[in-house]
A = this chain, B = another copy of it.
Amino acid sequence: MMERVAILGTGLLGTSVGLALRAAGFHGSIVGWNRSRAQAETALSMGAIDSIGTDPIAVARASQVVLLAVPIFATLDFMEQLAPVLGPSQLVTDVGSTKTQITESADRHFNTIDRAGFLPGHPMAGKERGGAEMADANLFRNAVWLFTDFPAWQRSAESAALARNWREWVIAMGARILDLGPQRHDELVAWVSHLPQFAATALSAVIEDEMGEAPELKDVGGRALREMTRLGASPWSMWRDIAHTNTDAIAAALEALEQRLAHIRENLRTPQLRDEFEKANRFRRE
């Protein structure tokens, strides 16, 4: 049974996990660490963690379950640092938005009988602005929490039990679990998560360039504009790692969207426009 948890990275997701665990009745210890200490202090003041650690490796060594809630490249770095110093009675899990590279690293460095287990995870939850102060105990309620676990991994009995236990806590936090392969995960999220983000960034950036100085802009823009550009507020620091670790799938989705927009542009006055609206209507009905 999981009793000592470490959360490395107490931003929006890490702090929300701490709050959600407490709300779900977790009574064990939660130690937090964050690169910028102010975020860890916010998490502490919110009750998401019990104490702040200064050395993330030492914090991880003293815990049963280590949650990595940092950007993807930082997650990959921590995996390399932690693998040699953790043991088979420990489990590491993460919240990274792309899973192929992280799952490959888990296969290389973890999940043998004499090593710590690693359970690659990805909660489909977030906000357009990060930070511990945005954290919410209900962030994962009705969200899907994806795992790209590898059935062939030969985990120690202890780390396998902790992986099962972590899944139970994920459900207790209000999420639904979906297991799928890491490549399939990355292809799916390219379409349903990364493409919408880059579309919102492109739309926001192009309107900023073309119309940012127009004094009437804010008056005329309604709900459609606000909604379609909300994700324009997302930070580059997080999306840089996603763009780097899922480049091909994102590029394919972006190119398909470009072609679709060009097709619509060339058919603004033809019946083909109707077909595109009908396809879009069908997508929303399903």
- Annotate A230-267 by CB proximity to B: 1 below 8 A, 0 otherwise: 11111110011001100100110111111011101100
Query: Given that A214-B188, A283-B229 are known contacts, is A220 also in contact with B265, CB under 8 Å in the complex?
Result: no
Are B144 and A220 in contact, CB atoms less than 8 angstroms apart? yes
Identify whether the interface residues of A are mostly helix, strand, loop, or mixed. helix
Taking a contact as CB atoms under 8 Å apart, the answer to whether B224 and A197 are in contact is yes
Among A2-10, A19-27, A37-45, A204-212, which stretch is in contact with chain B?
A204-212
CA distance A195 to B197 in the complex (A): 16
- CB-CB under 8 A from A143, the residues of chain B are 222
CB-based contact B284/A269 at 8 Å? no
- Taking CB atoms, residues of chain B closer than 8 Å to A211 are 188, 191-192
Instruction: List the B residue with the shortest CB-CB distance to A243.
Output: B268
Instruction: Report how far A193 CA is from B232 CA in the complex, Å.
Output: 16
Oligomeric state, in copies: 2
B274 touches A240 (CB 8 A): yes
Whether A219 sits at the interface, judged by CB under 8 Å, is yes
Q: Are B204 and A283 in contact (CB under 8 A)?
A: yes
Give the Cβ gap from A229 to chain B, nearest Cβ, in Å.
6
Contact for A273 among B224, B230, B243, CB less than 8 A: B243
Contacts A208-B283, A251-B268 aside, 18 further interface pairs with beta carbons under 8 A come to A124-B220, A125-B222, A144-B220, A184-B216, A189-B220, A193-B221, A195-B203, A196-B229, A200-B228, A212-B283, A227-B230, A232-B283, A233-B280, A239-B273, A243-B273, A244-B268, A254-B265, A258-B261
